[in-house]
Chains A and B, each alone.
Chain A
C-alpha cells in the first residue's frame, strides 16, 4: 500500500535571521521520515511533510531542538478564551509596570516641588546656594526622565525614524525642551546672566508633566480594560470541562479542549452546557440568556439543539456533540463582536483625517508660538516666555482623545449588544440603525410566530375534550404542518393519547382513520363533501365567522356526521404589540409586509397597531417594497427571518435578521437578533442611538478641547486678559481629556433595555 504523507505546521521560536531558518530547515529535512521541510523566517513557521509511520510531531520537534531552536506549543485552533487570557496577562503586566513608573515619578515630584518653591522666598534664596540647589534638582529629575518617562522618548525617537509622530512625540519634545533649557541654566548659568537673563530652571515643570501624563495613562488603561469587559465576560462563560460518557458507560470529566465531535456529554441540573450539540436523552429547561438575551428558560427535549455556555436549570440530559471550539455558537458570537469592534464607523472618518496630520501640525504651531513670543515679548523675558508657551502647546494637544472617541464607544456598545442578544456586524450598521425612521416588518415569523397554531376549537353539542382526543389521534400520524398544530394544541390541553388505526392521508384534503371504533375525518371542506358529509347550518355559520377572521379551517366528522371545526392561524408573538408600540414611541413608522391576502394582513396589522401594510407581496417582490419606501426618502430598516428575506435585508439601509436565523439571512443583515421577538429591534435601535450620541459627544469634546486648548496654550488670551497657561496645567488638562472621553463611552455600559 502506498504510504500517505502527513503535513504538520510547527511554530519555531528563537530564529533571528534567515540563516537560522536555513539551519532549521536542514535539520528537519534530515530527520527520518521527513519528505520535505519548508521554514518561513518571517512567519516563524515550518511546514513539514512526513511519513506518519517513521516520524511524528514529537520527532519533528526533536529535530528543531537539535538545531538549537524550540517549538512553541500551540493548540491548532486557539479559542477566543485562550487568546484573551494571554493578552489579559500581558496587559496586566504592562499596567503594573506603568503604575510603578507613575509612583516613582510621584515620589520624586513630591521632593522636587517644595525644593523649587524655595526660590519663591527671597529670604531663603539668600541662604541657599542656587547653583547647588539646581544640581540637586537635576539629580532628582533625571530618574523621572530616564525611568518614568523613558518610554515617551524611545517611542518618539522610533516614530521619528519612521516619519510618523504620535502623542509621545509631543510629550518628548515638550518635556525635552524644558529639561534641556534647565540643564543649560544649571551647567552654564553664565551664558544667561551675561545676556541679562535669569538662569531659571524648569525641573519641577518637567517632572510634573511626566507624572501627570502617566497618571492620565494609568487611568486610561484602567478604563480601557473596562471597555471590553462585556466581551471578556462573554468569553469567560465558556465551560472548562465536560462530563463525557465513555463507550463503557463511565462518565469522565475532561477538559473542554479534548471534547470531540460525536461524544456524548451528560449535563445535570444547574450545570453549564459544555459545547453545542443535540439532545439524545432526557429533557430540561435551559437558560439561554447569555446567547440570546432571553431571560425566560427554554424547554428542550430529545432532538433539540443545545448550545455551549447556556445553563441547564431543571432536568438532566445527555447530548451528542455537534460542534466544538471555534465552530460553537458562543465562539461565532465572540468572533462577530470582535469583527465589529475592528470595523470603522463612517462618523470616525473626519477624526481619522485629523489624527493623521495632527502631531506634525501641532509641532509646527508650537514652533511658530515660540518664534512669535520670542519676537514680540520684552527682551528680558522673551526666552522663558517663548519656552513656556512652546511647551504648553505641545503638552496640551492630545490626539488620543480624538483617536479614542469612536472605538471605545463601539467596543462598549457591541459588547453590550451581545449581552442583549443583539449582534452588530460592524460599526457602519450601528451608525445606519441610528438614522432609521421606518421599520419594515415581515409578518410571518417576525410579528407572528411563523408557525400555525390552533386558535379555535368549535364542537357544538359535543364533548369537546373527547373530540380533541379523537382528532389528535388521527393527526398524530400525519406530517402536515396543520396536523402538527392540532397535536401541539391537544398536548397543551393535556388530552389523553388514543391510538388510531387504518390511517389514510387524502392528498390536498386531509386525513382519515379509525379511533376507538369510530371513523374520524379531518380536513378541508372538500374532504367532507367528497365523503358525502353535509354541514349543519350552525357549523356553517361558525365556519363563515372564522373565515372572516382570516383563519384556516379544518372540518371534523365522526361516524359520518360533521361535528366540529378547528380554526388555525399563525399567531402574533406575545411581545410584538409592546415592541411595535415602543418603536412608534421612538418616532419610527412601522410598516408590515406579508404574502397573505389583504384580509389577513389587515387583521394582523389591526391587532398589533400598524396602519400601513403591504399584502400579497411575493417573496421576489420584498426587496422591491423596501425600494419603494426608500423612494419616499425613508431610511428603512428591514426585519426578517427567512432565506427569501435576504435580498430585502440587503436592499434595506439596515437589515435585521431575526431569530438565530439562517446563515444566508445573517450574511445579508447588518444586525442579527438572537432572540425571536421584536424587542430586539427596539434594543438595537435604542442602543445605536445611544452609541452614536456618545460618539458625537466624544468627538465634539475632543475637537473643542483641542481647538480651544491649543490657542490658549499658545498664549492667545495673554494680550487681552494676561492669561498664560502653565505647562503643568496643560499636562493636567491633557491627562483629563482622554480619560473623560473614555468615561463618557463607559456610560454606555449602563445601557439597559426594559
Chain B
C-alpha cells in the first residue's frame, strides 16, 4: 500500500464515522407544543428536506394542531404520513396544511414523508 492509498483509507474511514455519527448519533432538536387559549396544542413545523422541529412533545388527551408549512417543491416531502393516527395528507408547496389529532395514548409516534425518508416523531406525554 502506498501513501496515497493509506491517506484514502484513513479519509474514507473518517467519512464513514462522520456519516454514522451525523445521521444516527448527533443531537436532534425537540420542541414542545404551545397551548393556545382554547386549549389546543399548536405546533408550527417547517418542511424543507426534513421537519423542523422534528421531535414534537405534546400532552396526552388534549387536541393537537400541527401546521406544516412546506417550504420547497421537492417531491419527496409532498405527502405526510402519520400512520398511528391514520393520517395521509398532501402538503402543497409553499402552503400551510393543518393537521388535527387527539393523542389518547402516551408514546412516541413517528411521522414520515410518503416514502418514509423524512422522519419526525410526536412524543405524547
A: residues with CB less than 8 A from B are 38, 40-44, 86-87, 90, 94, 98, 151, 154-168, 217, 221, 338-344, 351-352, 355-357, 359-360, 363-364, 367-368, 370-371, 374-375, 379, 382, 386, 399-400, 402-404, 407, 426
Contacts and interface: CB of A to CB of B under 8 A. Distances in A.
Contacts of A343: 83, 86
Interface in B1-51: 1-2, 5, 8-9, 12-13, 15-16, 19-20, 22-24, 26, 28, 36-37, 42-44, 48-51
Contacts, number: 159
A42 B118 contact: no
Contacts of A403: 114-117
Given A168-B76, A403-B117, A163 B67 contact: no
Contacts of A162: 48-52, 54, 118
Nearest to B11: A371
Nearest to A47: B38
Contacts of B67: 42-44
Contact of A163 (B50, B78, B112): B50
B19 A166 contact: no
Contacts of A359: 23, 117
A47 B75 CA distance: 33
Q: Secondary structure at chain B's binding surface: helix, strand, loop or mixed?
A: mixed
Nearest to B45: A42
B75 A158 contact: no
Given A339-B86, A344-B83, A360-B20, A399 B9 contact: no
Given A162-B51, A167-B117, A339-B87, 5 more contacts: A163-B23, A164-B50, A164-B118, A375-B5, A402-B116
Given A154-B74, A357-B24, A426-B86, A379 B2 contact: yes
B12 A158 contact: no
Contacts of B93: 90, 94
A158 B28 CA distance: 15
Given A94-B75, A158-B74, A162-B52, A43 B42 contact: yes
Nearest to B91: A87
Contacts of B63: none
A611 to B, nearest CB: 39
A221 B1 CA distance: 48
Interface residues of B, number: 57
Nearest to A370: B12
Contacts of A374: 5, 8-9, 12
A412 to B, nearest CB: 14
Nearest to A369: B12
A163 B51 CA distance: 10
Contact of A404 (B5, B16, B115): B115
Contacts of A363: 19
B59 interface: no
Contact of A221 (B15, B75, B85, B117): B75
16 contacts: A43-B65, A87-B90, A155-B74, A158-B50, A162-B49, A162-B118, A164-B49, A166-B115, A342-B82, A344-B83, A351-B116, A360-B24, A370-B8, A371-B8, A374-B8, A375-B5
Interface of B: 1-2, 5, 8-9, 12-13, 15-16, 19-20, 22-24, 26, 28, 36-37, 42-44, 48-52, 54, 65, 67, 72-76, 78, 81-90, 92-93, 96, 98, 112-119
Nearest to B9: A371
Given A158-B72, A217-B75, A44 B96 contact: yes
A224 to B, nearest CB: 9
Q: Which of B78, B84, B86, B114 has the most CB of A within 10 A?
A: B86
Q: Which of B43, B76, B90 has the most CB of A within 10 A?
A: B76
A164 B117 contact: yes
A87 B92 contact: yes
A366 to B, nearest CB: 10
Nearest to B25: A163
Contacts of A167: 76, 115, 117
Contacts of A44: 67, 96
A340 B83 CA distance: 9
Given A163-B22, A163-B26, A399 B12 contact: no
Contacts of B19: 360, 363-364, 367
Q: Which of B36, B83, B84 has the most CB of A within 10 A?
A: B83
Given A151-B74, A154-B72, A375 B1 contact: yes
B116 A399 contact: yes
Q: Which of B28, B36, B37, B117 has the most CB of A within 10 A?
A: B117
Q: Which of B82, B84, B116 has the most CB of A within 10 A?
A: B116
Given A168-B74, A367-B19, A403-B117, A158 B48 contact: yes
Q: Which of B12, B16, B118 has the most CB of A within 10 A?
A: B12
B92 A356 contact: no
Nearest to A410: B88
B88 A342 contact: yes
B73 A151 contact: yes
Nearest to B113: A166
Contacts of A341: 88
Nearest to B50: A162
